[in-house]
Amino acid sequence: MTAPSHKPMDLTDWGLLVALSILWGGSFFFVGIAVRELPPLTIVAMRVALAALALGGLLRILGLPMPRDRRTWAAFFAMGVLNNLVPFCLIVWGQTQISSGVASVLNATTPLFGVLVAHVLTRDEKMTGNRLAGVLVGFAGVAVMIGPTALAGLGNGLLPQLAVLGAALSYSFAGIFGRRFKGMGVSPLVTATGQVTASTLMLVPVALLVDRPWTLPMPSTAAWGAVVGIALLSTALAYVIFFRVLASAGATNLMLVTFLIPVSAILLGGLFLGERLAVRHGIGMALIAGGLAAIDGRLFARLGQRRSASAAKG
């Protein structure tokens, strides 16, 4: 399997990763609204179906053809299982029984799983001391930022918490598997369209059979708005960015987005909702920044070079 070599991210990659964290951070908010009125499978099926329609329409406007060979579509279906079907269902079901804060903390284990999975399954994204330390420090930053209220809920509801951890593990495998699309010559936009289309073909029949959504009460305007938001913003647009960063920066770097999601949510709340920032938010952000710097490696490399130069002069 051809894959991009692990490398430090440039400013464009970091900017896209921040944008992705904002889009995916919104998904917990949207799910929290929709799950009050709609069953999990129906939410997930509508999410990928609307995203597939939006991205398919965009491809037609741009005149970009979808691949028709079996090999590419087999990869789309596999990616759909790892990146959509399994994690979406597990997270949405988990959020029916645990808070969004607990779900966010558990979801932040994705980079830890990613480092371990990449070390085992790849040749160019092996674990290093800096990378593992950075992941652990970043996870600690997420826990500090979310705060003791959410962390107190970690002792309750073992199965839903295991479900969100299973979603994080599935995302880590998806990041490694998705590296192959660059080698196959499939663009990020086409890859995003293909995997949500494959997910739709798998999920819609199951949702119709299990939930029988036509028998449910008509959802409110807020619930419909949440479904549209999670489909167009947190899925369609987010996956175009996802596969762009994956192709340019690698799976391990991409999974750092789960550290940035709580940062984005808290900063947006402060900017637009007038929410006050607590001391723990600043401490958590500082820990996350330190963890990201350790994983990126360039800052520590420069410091090491300066120390070596100073020692040589001495």
Give the model confidence (pLDDT) of 223-267 as tens digits: 999 999 999 999 999 999 988 888 888 777 777 777 777 777 666
1 domain residue, yes or no: no
Alpha helix stretches (DSSP H) within 64-187: 70-80, 86-94, 100-107, 110-121, 129-146, 148-152, 158-177, 180-183
Residue 100 is part of which domain span? 11-304
- Cα separation, 118 vs 127, whole angstroms: 8
In tens, the pLDDT along 283-293 reads: 877 787 777 77
126 domain residue, yes or no: yes
- Cα separation, 246 vs 22, whole angstroms: 17
Percent of the chain as helix, strand, coil, to the nearest 5: 80, 0, 20
pTM above 0.85, yes or no: no
312 domain residue, yes or no: no
In tens, the pLDDT along 179-221 reads: 889 889 999 999 999 999 999 999 999 899 988 988 989 999 9
In tens, the pLDDT along 134-185 reads: 778 877 877 777 666 655 555 566 788 888 889 989 998 998 898 889 889 9
48 domain residue, yes or no: yes
Quickly count: other Cβ atoms within 10 Å of residue 19's Cβ. Answer: 17
142 domain residue, yes or no: yes
281 domain residue, yes or no: yes
* Domain total in the chain: 1
Q: Token pair for residue 193?
A: 């369209």
Q: Token pair for residue 4?
A: 């991009």
4 domain residue, yes or no: no
77 domain residue, yes or no: yes
The three-point CA angle 136-140-142 to 5° equals: 120
